Chain A
């Protein structure tokens, strides 16, 4: 298809890209083994930080909570955002649709501090207990816009003939939805899900404002430690999390490549 030369150029570009993305991560990982205690001046290899990490039960609980919040909030946000996007797409009045989409993006432009502060007021007025629930709701709330943003373009790209064909073949609206539309926009949903995960894992300000009762996420904990120095056990933690996620990613990919037929049969049953 393309000349061999441009293929190599492309490969090279991708390799440079990956180096660019992973150098800071590699730096972090290397220093998690630093006997020196800081993220500079590597003075020797040690596993001390990993040992310190595993004896810090509070931190471990925080990590688990962070992952739970991220996965749950992204899953719910993807669901609500997708059906919202679909609903918006089929909205007839263009003016209304456009203003709703504008409203949708308001949360993306607002700095976390503003969102956090306004959510706190909201929760206080509504009498919602600050803790796991409030954090979960807040994360769902700020993840929905990005899901919509990722799903809508896919909806626009969908050939209208697709829906017409399905309806002509006698499919009821519900089936058109599940058998035609959703499979088509799945890439958008996945993009939205992963972007939501990113938003949730990285969030500090909003979580800080709406949390309570001793519930904390990793971001809040790390930022709070910044004043007195971030211990390398955080590096150790990040390394482990990173490694686990890598494993999951490769594992999921391996399964979807090899065991596709077997898994498909299982789902069918």
Chain B
């Protein structure tokens, strides 16, 4: 890999990085030092460390964690089974397809499905169960969030599974390993990188969810994203909004340190 080739490859990417990442971050960080009246101050950061925002941070992290964990639980077997079917590419595309339908539309559909007099409750009433409150609960919130993020978790894990040399599993089984051991000792370690990518692709964005918190959780769950959206649009307090954004970036850096993808030698 010659140096010139390497730098030509990196050039457009670096340009993008500078213009669309570094400059906006600088803008945001710059903004976080100003308050509503345009005065230079550290007030915003002080405000952030108040009970309200700290509580909000914990809530965001907690729900993001739950969503990521459950997505992983659901996506991993899916990716595994998928890599063993005959029409895997077709099925993979069919799994991604629903995510191209507009989110607001799907949310209205979910409201129709989970509503007091919606599909699920109609189904339950066949068994004599009275209408359950499904909407605006933790359950429906996490359910819909997982629904949204599933493709982002399935794809990288599926890719990792596809990379696995098949012979390895057969060899392990020939050596007398049980299904569970094969999973634990062979499959899991080899797909770990895919899992880590999936975790990053789900955890990081779910920290700043705000559309779904309003639509499905009825604002019973308030994330940092909710606060940012409010500050940027309603209060026009870009300073505070920027501060929270800075904190989100910090959280992201921490997440990445934790889920460090190790390059193979």
Q: Real complex partners, A and B?
A: yes
Q: Judge whether B229 and A111 touch: CB under 8 Å.
A: yes
Given known A-B contacts A21-B95, A122-B19, A249-B90, A10 and B108 have beta carbons under 8 A apart = no
Smallest Cβ distance from A232 to chain B, in angstroms?
A: 10
- Which residues from 226 to 269 on chain A have a C-beta closer than 8 Å to any C-beta of chain B? 226, 230, 234-235, 238, 241-242, 245-246, 249-250, 253
The interface residues of chain B lying within 8 Å CB-to-CB of A100 are 17
Interface residues of A (CB under 8 A from B): 1-2, 6, 10-11, 13-14, 17-18, 20-25, 27-28, 31, 39-40, 80-81, 83-84, 86-88, 90-91, 100-111, 113-115, 117-119, 121-122, 140-142, 144, 146, 148-150, 152-154, 156-157, 160, 173-174, 176-177, 187-188, 191, 194-195, 197-198, 201-202, 218-219, 222-223, 226, 230, 234-235, 238, 241-242, 245-246, 249-250, 253
* Residue of A with least CB distance to B206: A109
Interchain CB contact under 8 A, B22 and A14: no
B194 adjacent to chain A (CB < 8 Å): yes
Which B residue's beta carbon lies closest to that of A159?
B264
Q: Which residue of B lies closest to A154 (CB)?
A: B159
Complex-state Cα separation, A219 to B100, whole angstroms: 11
Q: Is the CB of B28 within 8 A of A28?
A: no
6 A-B residue pairs with CB within 8 Å: A6-B179, A25-B101, A102-B252, A121-B27, A153-B156, A188-B159
- Inter-chain CA distance A11–B262, complex, in Å, is 33
Cβ–Cβ contact A122 & B256, under 8 A: no
Q: Are A108 and B204 in contact (CB under 8 A)?
A: yes
Residue B138 lies at the interface, judged by CB distance under 8 Å to chain A: no
B44 interface residue per 8 A CB criterion: no
Answer whether A87 and B23 are a contact pair too, CB < 8 Å, given A150-B156, A153-B197.
no
Are B100 and A197 touching (Cβ within 8 A)?
yes
Q: Closest CB of chain A to B18's CB: distance in Å? A: 10
Q: Which residues of B contact A219 (CB under 8 A)?
A: 102-104
Contact of B249 among A110, A157, A191 (CB under 8 A): A110
- Known A-B contacts A83-B12, A109-B251; the reply to A202 vs B99 at CB < 8 A is yes
Determine if A110 and B5 form an interchain contact, defined as CB atoms under 8 angstroms apart: no
Q: CA of A81 to CA of B233 in the docked complex: distance in angstroms? A: 31
Cβ B96 vs Cβ A198 within 8 A: yes
Give A155 Cβ to nearest chain B Cβ, in Å.
Answer: 8
- Find out whether the CB atom of B249 lies under 8 angstroms from the CB atom of A106: yes
Residues of A within 8 A of B208 (CB): 109-111
A56 to B23, alpha carbons, bound, how many Å? 40
Task: Indicate whether A106 sits within 8 Å of B252 (C-beta atoms), given known contacts A14-B81, A80-B13, A113-B233.
Answer: yes
CB distance from B40 to the nearest CB of A (A): 19
Distance, CA A197 to CA B152, complexed state (A): 12
B82 at the interface (CB under 8 A from A): yes
Cross-chain contact B261 with A191 (CB below 8 angstroms):
no
B193 close to chain A: CB less than 8 A:
yes
The 8 closest A-B pairs by CB, nearest first: A84-B13, A87-B10, A118-B24, A109-B252, A10-B81, A87-B9, A24-B109, A111-B208
Distance in angstroms from A129 CB to nearest chain B CB is: 17
A225 to B44, CA, bound (A): 35
Q: Is the CB of B103 within 8 A of A113?
A: no
List chain A residues, Cβ under 8 A from B179.
2, 6
A111 CA to B223 CA in the complex, in Å? 11
Q: A17-B78, A121-B27 are in contact. Are A80 and B95 (CB under 8 A)?
A: no
B39 within 8 A of A: no
B155 on interface, CB distance cutoff 8 Å:
yes
Tell me the chain B residues, 91-121 only, with Cβ under 8 Å from chain A: 91, 93-106, 108-110, 112-113, 115, 118-119
The answer, yes or no, to whether B228 is at the interface (CB within 8 Å) is yes
The one of A40, A105, A106, A246 in contact with B112, judged by C-beta atoms closer than 8 angstroms, is: A40
Supposing A111-B245, A113-B228, A149-B197 touch, asked if A218 and B102 sit within 8 A by C-beta, the answer is yes
Known: A187-B159, A242-B97. A24 touches B232 (CB 8 A): no
Q: Determine whether the beta carbon of B106 is less than 8 Å from that of A113.
A: no
B27–A24 contact, CB under 8 A? no
* Residues 41-66 of chain B, each 1 if its beta carbon lies under 8 Å from chain A, else 0: 00000000000000000000000000
A103 touching B245, Cβ below 8 Å: no
Complex alpha-carbon distance, A153 and B263, angstroms: 8
Q: Check B94 against A157 for contact (C-beta < 8 Å).
A: no
Contact residues in B for A187 (Cβ distance below 8 Å):
159, 162
Among A6, A84, A245, contact of B100 (Cβ-Cβ < 8 Å): A245
What are the residues of chain B within 8 A of A188 when measuring CB–CB? 159
Q: Indicate whether B248 reaches chain A with its CB closer than 8 angstroms.
A: yes
Whether, in the assembled complex, B189 has its beta carbon less than 8 Å from a beta carbon of chain A, the answer is no
Q: Which residue of B lies closest to A85 (CB)?
A: B13
Would you call B160 and A153 a contact (CB within 8 A)?
Answer: yes
* Bound-state Cα–Cα, A90 to B225, Å: 36
